[in-house]
Amino acid sequence: MATDFPSSVLFCCDHNATRSPMAEGLMKKFYGHRAYVQSAGVKNDLEIDGFAVAVSAEDGVELQRHRVRSFDEMAQWGDDLSGFDLIVALSPASQRHALELTRHYHLDVEYWPILDPTGLGESREAKLAAYRQARDQIKARIIARFGPPEAAPQPLS
């Protein structure tokens, strides 16, 4: 059941290379500019994951240009964590980090246990299946939390 819709959401995971960019992209696709949406990782030591890019593209979400960033970089670039209404942690490490960073702020941190597809599967198809499973878990959680996706505005004719 959808609860109050936040005006700003930060999705976070370990590296901001797979799960949190998929969540950010899906949230933006589903709800447009209804909320300010960003993503971050505990670390910034990877590039955007190619399998995440591929399975997101299947749903019309473009991640190719996503720039991986950490919580520390967010602060350097002017995104203050206290400005977010909700932080959604997609990994245990990011949940711990978000709770530590926000212990002096009044904002909600939710933990969604989403499968980490990295390293799963031997073949390309098996890897893609694991990434699709993670993407679909994220989709289901977003819709359960925020409600059905909003219809995209139709062009004027």
Asked whether the predicted pLDDT for residue 45 surpasses 90, the reply is: no
β-bridge partners, 39: 11
CA atoms within 13 A on the CB side of 5: 16
43 backbone dihedrals φ, ψ, rounded to 5°: -125, 160
Whether pTM > 0.85 for this model: the answer is yes
Share of the chain above pLDDT 70, in %: 93
Give the CATH H-level superfamily of domain 8-146: Response regulator (3.40.50.2300)
For 123, the token pair is 């073949």
> Is residue 134 within 8 Å of residue 13, measured between CB atoms?
no
Mean pLDDT of the chain: 88
- Segments of 68-119 assigned E as strands: 86-89, 108-111
